[in-house]
Structure 1
């Protein structure tokens, strides 16, 4: 099972580990594309703070985020699973998983990013600020920049198992499963049961809880139909919509009344 996650806007501070080594990150087919983004972003943030804030869409109060990007190559690193914070990652709470569940997380979780393309939670990265919606002066829109390298790298990462897609729309744009991979992909929405509407906090927190539940249970669904059964066994209320034709993903709606 491969689980596709969005990053978080909020991030923990960089660690005290060795500086970034792009060649050590997972999905080596993305290395050249990562080098291009890191190079331009760091140079922009070093050369012109005001221009960098404009490009990144940052307010005056977030000038410190520009400094983070300026130091991308020299800052300490820590595992991506420790860098990403926020509602989804608080609910997932990787640090408190038992050793077996942590090993499953290392194998199955893939976090999408405007800066890195996608990383495993064990990949060591510095803190940064760069969303998928950013348009760099040289490279252009990052969502477009990542499409070709993602098309080369992600089918191999998906292997022949289930793909559980929990990404937000912006992070889904650079790579959308196609063909045979799409047929074993399940995209999940979390709906507030009384209103049948997506509510941001419910959506993010429940997605984190779903991933944690699957990791703790050691669930290994081979396809979307088995995922539905696994989630129901874990006491989630799930409505499934099988694709109308070949080469399309399943849509799963998880209904929640409240999130604690």
Structure 2
């Protein structure tokens, strides 16, 4: 099983660990594309601060993120699972998983990123600010920049098992499963049951809880239909829509009665 996650907008401080070693990151087929984004981002943020803020879409209160990006090559690095924070990652609670569940997380979770493309939660990265919606002057829209290298690398990373796609729309632009891989992919929406509406906060929290429950139970669904059964067994209310034709992902709605 491969679980595709969005990053968090806010991130924990880098700390004083060993600086980034790009060659140590998972998915080495993304190395050239990563270096292109890293080089462009560092150069942008080491130059005109106002231009950098404009390109990155940063408010005055986030001015310090520019200097942080300028120092990415020498900043301390920590496991990505510690860098990413926010509602989804709080609910996922990687740090409080038992040893077996942590091993499952290391194997199955893949976090998409405007800067790194995608990383495992065990990959050591510095704290940064660069969303997938950014258009860097020399590279253009990052979603488009990542599309070709992702198409080469991600099908192999997906293996022959289930792909559980929990990414937000911006990060889904970087890679769209196709063909046989798409047929064993499931996307998930979280809806407030009484209104059938998506509410951002509990959407993220519920996705975090879904992943945690799968990791804790040691459940490895073989495909989308098996995932529906597994989630129901774990106490989630799920409505599933199988694709009308082959080569399309399943669409799952997880219904939540209370917003929390």
* TM-score for the superposition, normalised by structure 2: 0.99
Can you list the C-alpha shifts for 1:113-164, whole angstroms capped at 9, x where unaligned? 0000000000000000000000000011101000000000100000000000
2:80–2:121 contact (8 Å) kept in structure 1: yes
- For 1:88 and 1:114, the matched residues in 2 are separated by 18
CA distance in 2, matches of 1:167, 1:126: 21
1:78-114 per-position Cα deviation (integer Å, ceiling 9, x unaligned): 0000000000000001000000000000000000000
Displacement of 1:15 in angstroms is 2.4
Deviation at 1:257, TM superposition (A): 1.0
Q: Distance in 2 between matches of 1:40 and 1:253?
A: 39
- 2:50 aligned partner: 50
**Are positions 1:67 and 2:67 aligned together?**
yes
Q: CA RMSD in A?
A: 0.6
Q: Name 1:224's counterpart in structure 2.
A: 224
Q: Which residue of 2 aligns with 1:193?
A: 193
Deviation at 1:259, TM superposition (A): 4.4
How do 1:160-171 and structure 2 match up within 5 A? 160-171=160-171
**C-alpha separation between the residues in 2 aligned to 1:201 and 1:51?**
31
TM-score, structure 1 normalization: 0.99
- What's the counterpart of residue 104 of structure 1? 104
Contact conserved, 1:205 with 1:259, CA < 8 A, in 2?
Answer: no
The 3-state SS of whatever aligns with 2:229 is helix
Q: Deviations over 1:64-90 (max 9, x none)?
A: 100110000000000000000000000
Q: Give matches, 1:54-133, under 5 Å.
A: 54-133=54-133
Displaced runs of 4 or more, over 2 A: none
